[in-house]
Structure 1
């Protein structure tokens, strides 16, 4: 099932939020208006009842009430919803106005009887809103009113009923509620439409980003996402995507260069083997010549084998799950063993080796031996006869520093950093300079030795660098402590 668009989802959420706000605000306003109307009507009822009591108290006897009926009923005149009734102590109705609106037509025609649930206010008590009662007429109309006793001037008691039919208020509130519903529904629809248009406009940078990334292909990894007029919230996303494209571009270029260099270096021994074999097959050869050819081909096979082994090691080392067997050992003793292994080759090359220093080091012993062996083989290849190679292990405070130094021609400054790149070649006319393994360009090199050294140091969280001057060349391995 196709996922719902983000624009529609946000617009619906905006509309739902607006609906919730409208419901809460509308309910609050409706309830507040209802309470305000009720309070105002209750106040009118109380004031009318108090006024009627004061007028009745000035009348001498119950018979005088008939004479002052107009004065009493004038209190509620002008409001069709208001009703009044005055009864004597025997329950005989003396004055009435619109009483059918408060009690119903049948009750108004009969003798007066208190509405159900109403409490009579004694003549000595103050009339307040708390004495107001609510009831319904037989037709179901809501009524609110007060029933209060009045003491006439001669001491006789009379009863005053002041009531208000609330039907008009109900109709008013119903119409107001309907308008709230209509306004709320229209507001939600309008909020959804405006929210949809607004969100769609605000999400345009995301569509532009998607369009920009859609133009990235293998041939166009250099393409970058434009960061102009991008909201602050998306600047981090754009920067991350551009950084990812930069890494992909760099990695792809390195991979392309590595593949080209690998193909070039593999072509050389294969071409040597093919050329030598074709020459040997051009005419009959002696057994010694065939043996020489096979020995030459075997050397080229060894070179290819070393190259493939180094490439596989680099590929495995770049995998996140590459396993290292870390342990602590004496770096001085390990350097001594490696020097003893190279002792025969050093004698053949007329080179002297010297070991100095010594300290504890936490690393993978096999990887440590491989890195030092590569550097030592590189040093022996470019150290002149009678020269000196020094192996040193020193506790440098922030970690352990291992140095392999050899005498010989210096390396130009522009090559010092790049000699650790895979298959890097310096000026081929300067055959005395090392390349990526320190010996690329010689028959025994695969051009990956120094690249392997750098990879091993990266696996240990350390660094490798080269220094070269008139006194010789120094390769420095810096291991972090712990």
Structure 2
């Protein structure tokens, strides 16, 4: 299902918010108008009843009430919504005014309802009604008035609310219309404003569409991005830089791997073609097979190293961590390389002590790669030292050897895959041939342990240093 656009979503949200505001304001205004109309009508009823009672108090008897009917009804004259009846003590209607409308039945039914006694003041609390609120049909006020002869009459004044109900209904319809029109206007204006505000995002999208594998170095313009999107654009540019670096390293890695694998394959092919060029004796074939076996071993080590690096970079790579004696493990590694060191004419010694919490197999592999590298580059008659020592927050393992120094510009690159300090890419004459991946494996092992690997080289020799963080 196609997702709704962000512009439409925000426009609908703004329109809904506007409608909600209109509804609350309209309801408040409608309620205020209703209360104001009711209060105005009630005050009109109270005022008419008060003046009518005052006039009735000046009359002698019910006969005078009939005689002065016009004077008594003066308080409701001119208002078709007001009706008046005056009853004697027996409930008979002495006279009525404007009783042909909705108020007729109400006036008759409320004659003997709760009335204001002749001696009590007339208040709003005495008003009765049929229906409720804005739906009230009639509001009625009944009050007794004392005549001069001691008799009483009941003054009933009613207010027909149909005109005000129509006014409120019309006002409500206008509010509905204004609210709907406001909501539509808010939606259209919000859509246009949001659509315009999204222009930088569309421009960024267009810029991102132009970025391909061959153009990863192309960056998006941060200066034209809004403040809210500046951080996102910066992050995307940083991501593109990392991707570009990763692709570049991958391309270089692939080229180096192809170059290093081509050499043993060329050796295999060349030696085999020479051997097949003519018939040879058994000893020459044996020498050819032995040479080919060395090249196969070199290819196997290279493939194994590449597979290890690929597995180590996988997030689900599993390490078997445990505590062990680092001096003992270094001694075991030194003993394993004893024969190779003797052939190279170098001595290996182990110094220091310490307990390390790490993966034993990975630890041995890292130290073995460093020791094999040291044997290849240590002149005959000199020594290699494997030293373990504890520093502030780590356990340091150092593989130090005497010999020629590494150039300063190569110190940061010696751990790169297939990198060699010499540009000729030939193998050192001492020790087994290098695959160009040994030091890269060392760095990967240290990254897996949360430590670091670095090298120091000067006139006194070269020191490869591994720092393992101590477990807390």
Task: Give the shorter-chain TM-score range.
Answer: over 0.9
Counterpart check, 1:253 vs 2:248:
yes
- Determine if contact 1:425/1:440 at 8 Å carries over to the other structure: no
1:458 — aligned with what? 447
Q: After superposition, where does 1:216-227 map in structure 2 within 5 Å?
A: 216-227=211-222
CA distance in 2, matches of 1:157, 1:128: 19
Q: Normalising by structure 2, what TM-score?
A: 0.93
1:214 — aligned with what? 209
CA distance in 1, matches of 2:352, 2:79: 113
Q: After superposition, where does 1:30-429 map in structure 2 within 5 Å?
A: 30-101=30-101, 103-104=103-104, 113-115=108-110, 118-135=113-130, 142-428=137-423
Q: CA deviation at 1:287?
A: 2.7
- Determine if contact 1:118/1:134 at 8 Å carries over to the other structure: no
How many equivalent pairs are there? 468
Instruction: State the secondary structure of the residue aligned to 1:303.
Output: helix
1:468 — aligned with what? 457
1:25 — aligned with what? 25
- Determine if contact 2:406/2:421 at 8 Å carries over to the other structure: no
CA distance in 1, matches of 2:33, 2:313: 74
Q: Could you tell which deviates more after superposition, 345-354 or 314-323?
A: 345-354
Instruction: State the secondary structure of the residue aligned to 2:108.
Output: coil
Q: CA deviation at 1:404?
A: 0.5
Q: CA deviation at 1:117?
A: 8.5
- Determine if contact 2:84/2:98 at 8 Å carries over to the other structure: yes
Instruction: State the secondary structure of the residue aligned to 1:101.
Output: coil
- Determine if contact 1:404/1:475 at 8 Å carries over to the other structure: yes
Q: CA deviation at 1:239?
A: 2.9
Q: CA deviation at 1:116?
A: 7.4
- Determine if contact 2:46/2:141 at 8 Å carries over to the other structure: yes
Deviations 1:402-431 (A, max 9, x none): 001000011111100100000113333697
Deviations 1:368-415 (A, max 9, x none): 000001101111111111111111111112010000100001111110
Q: CA deviation at 1:69?
A: 3.1
1:445 — aligned with what? 434
CA distance in 1, matches of 2:90, 2:441: 120
Q: CA deviation at 1:159?
A: 1.2
Instruction: State the secondary structure of the residue aligned to 1:424.
Output: coil
Q: Could you tell which deviates more after superposition, 54-63 or 162-171?
A: 54-63
C-alpha change, 1:31 and 1:103, in structure 2 (3 Å) is same
CA distance in 1, matches of 2:404, 2:257: 28
Q: Which runs of 5+ in 2 are unaligned?
A: none
Q: Could you tell which deviates more after superposition, 36-45 or 69-78?
A: 69-78
C-alpha change, 1:84 and 1:458, in structure 2 (3 Å) is same
Instruction: State the secondary structure of the residue aligned to 1:121.
Output: coil
- Determine if contact 2:376/2:431 at 8 Å carries over to the other structure: no
Q: Could you tell which deviates more after superposition, 222-231 or 250-259?
A: 222-231
Q: Which runs of 5+ in 1 are unaligned?
A: none
Deviations 1:180-224 (A, max 9, x none): 111111111112212222222222233223222222221112222
Q: CA deviation at 1:141?
A: 8.6
CA distance in 2, matches of 1:440, 1:223: 45
Deviations 1:216-249 (A, max 9, x none): 2211122223223433433333233223222221
CA distance in 1, matches of 2:122, 2:303: 108
CA distance in 1, matches of 2:113, 2:261: 111
- Determine if contact 2:83/2:103 at 8 Å carries over to the other structure: no
CA distance in 2, matches of 1:153, 1:225: 100
CA distance in 1, matches of 2:123, 2:440: 98
Q: Normalising by structure 1, what TM-score?
A: 0.91
C-alpha change, 1:440 and 1:166, in structure 2 (3 Å) is farther
Q: Could you tell which deviates more after superposition, 222-231 or 302-311?
A: 222-231
RMSD in angstroms over aligned alpha carbons? 2.3
Q: Could you tell which deviates more after superposition, 232-241 or 155-164?
A: 232-241
CA distance in 1, matches of 2:274, 2:215: 46
1:5 — aligned with what? 5
CA distance in 2, matches of 1:282, 1:306: 30
CA distance in 2, matches of 1:180, 1:430: 86
- Determine if contact 1:224/1:242 at 8 Å carries over to the other structure: yes
Instruction: State the secondary structure of the residue aligned to 1:230.
Output: coil
- Determine if contact 1:83/1:163 at 8 Å carries over to the other structure: yes
CA distance in 2, matches of 1:95, 1:230: 84
